[in-house]
Amino acid sequence: MRKKLIAGIIIGIVLFSLAAAIAFKGKAGAPGREGTGEKIAVVHIEGMIVSSAPGGFGSSGVAAADRIVSDLKKARENPDIKAVILKLNTGGGTVVGSDEIGREVERVRRSGKKVVAAMGEMAASGGYWISCKADKIVANPGTFTGSIGVIMELTNLQNLYNKLGIEFDNFKTGPNKDMGATYRELTPEQRRIFQSLVNDTYEDFIKVVAEGRKMDPARVRQLADGRIYTGKQAKALGLVDELGDFTEAVKMTAQLAGIKGEPELVDMTGEQPFWQQFFSSMQGRGGILSLPPEGLLLVPDPSVLPLKAEVK
């Protein structure tokens, strides 16, 4: 009886996998919109922004800078590609990952190709950092964007360790080598050190926005208290250029690039392997609830941020 049950489970898993593969294959079969005119590359930036994706099943559902930079480089070097659209749906991520993508966007623009950022449900913090590198930004009126700021979160488990009777022996070369360890509180000096790291990156963020949006840095500081804006609010404040959907972003990109007629959209990401598509769908592609990496982050505080606003 037990062998039959195990065999039934295995067969069920196989059948489910085959059905899922067929479904995903159908979705992946049309990566872009074909036209009769010149080509516009579409580069996806979806999920938590990281410098490089972890191996294994966890590599789906994140916006890995190494993959995105590679996609942008291909678009930059392809003479048939006349412009690039960044299709964003991200709550941000690491400072390094956001900066790496932003630098490649600059290279695309220096090559003479126009870049337009098309914001989806969310393009906040690190997503906004990248968007400011584009020639133009198009947001949906309900897009969550902005969140101009930097955060670093540390966990203090000292009281818990004491209750459990857990003790730590530490051998270090300096007083700050274990700064941020979960088994003890920060010293005043270490708090100043961490805050200096956050402040330094914050100044970089202010500069990126001021240069990208052609705004006075003092005005950017007034807006850069970490809050999230809707696309409509961002448009009124000068943080985005136009309100509209992806179709509007395509039209704007074609106009900037001088493309006549209907452009052909080329999805630079291409088709993912089946197992990545499957686990990406299980996680919720483009979501912001993935566990963030440690270190300096360009993300909204998840404790006060809803996944998405729902119209009922």
Query: Active-site positions?
Result: 125, 177
DSSP string, the chain: -HHHHHHHHHHHHHHHHHHHHHHHHHHHT--S---SS-EEEEEEEESEEESSPPSGGGGTTEEEHHHHHHHHHHHHH-TTEEEEEEEEEE--EEHHHHHHHHHHHHHHHHTT-EEEEEEEEEEETHHHHHHTTSSEEEE-TT-EEE----B------HHHHHHHT-------SSTTTTTT-TTSPPPHHHHHHHHHHHHHHHHHHHHHHHHHHT--HHHHHHH-SS-EEEHHHHHHHTSSSEE--HHHHHHHHHHHHT--SPPEEEESS-PPPHHHHHHHHHH-TT-S-SPPPSSSEE---TTT--S-----
CA–CA distance, 50 with 251 (Å, rounded to integer): 30
- Number of residues that make up the chain: 312
